[in-house]
Amino acid sequence: MKATIFLLIAVLLIQCNTEEKISKSTLWGIDFSDSNTRVFAQGTIEKQNPDAKVVYVVSEGALRQVEGNLYSIDLIFDNNESLKLIVAKKTSDYNFHFPGSDAENQLVSALFNGVALNLNESAISIQPELGDNKLNIVTNMHTVDAGDFNGTLTRIPLLQ
């Protein structure tokens, strides 16, 4: 009887350790989150044109793998407009550049309301926030014809 209980406890411990390893992303430095946490994203992005400035308040956000080393940051703002950033994660560095070299993390593309932005030299930073188990994202994006997109987003979950 004692041997059966011991075996059962050992199996449960092994299973718990296996599930923990599956839920951890060493690449981003935080655990994967449930998709319901998208709505806890916070922050703003200011779109600045020569004529006007518009402040977009994030209502949902998440980062997830598209394929290989490509990841998508999907943001929905409180006015239902959207921003999608595609990044290539190649190193443990937090910074992503456009244009970037093949040896570094890159900001590959950006779409605002589904329309591709023609990027000028730009950078974003994606940093783990261990206390919240979320990501902080700082944008400093410059475009040819749509203005600049600058801001700080917090509590962005990493989804599988």
For the chain, give every domain's residue range.
28-159
- Kindly indicate whether the domain formed by 28-159 is annotated with CATH number 2.40.128: yes
Instruction: Please give the pLDDT value at position 23.
Output: 56
Task: Among 19-23, 71-75, 91-95, 98-102, name the one with the lowest average pLDDT.
Answer: 19-23
pTM of the model: 0.83
The position carrying tokens 């244009």 is 99
Instruction: Give yes or no for residue 17 having a pLDDT over 80.
Output: no
Q: What is the mean pLDDT of the chain?
A: 88
39 and 159 Cβ atoms separated by less than 8 Å: no
Percent of the chain residues topping a pLDDT of 90:
79
Beta pairing partners, 97: 106, 123
45 and 149 Cβ atoms separated by less than 8 Å: yes
Percent of the chain residues topping a pLDDT of 70:
84
- The pLDDT of 72-81, averaged and rounded, is 98
- Distance, in Å, from the CA atom of 129 to the CA atom of 151, rounded to the nearest integer, reads 17
* pLDDT tens digits, 120-147: 999 999 999 999 999 999 999 999 999 9
Helix (H) or strand (E) holding 71: strand 70-77
Instruction: Please give the pLDDT value at position 107.
Output: 98
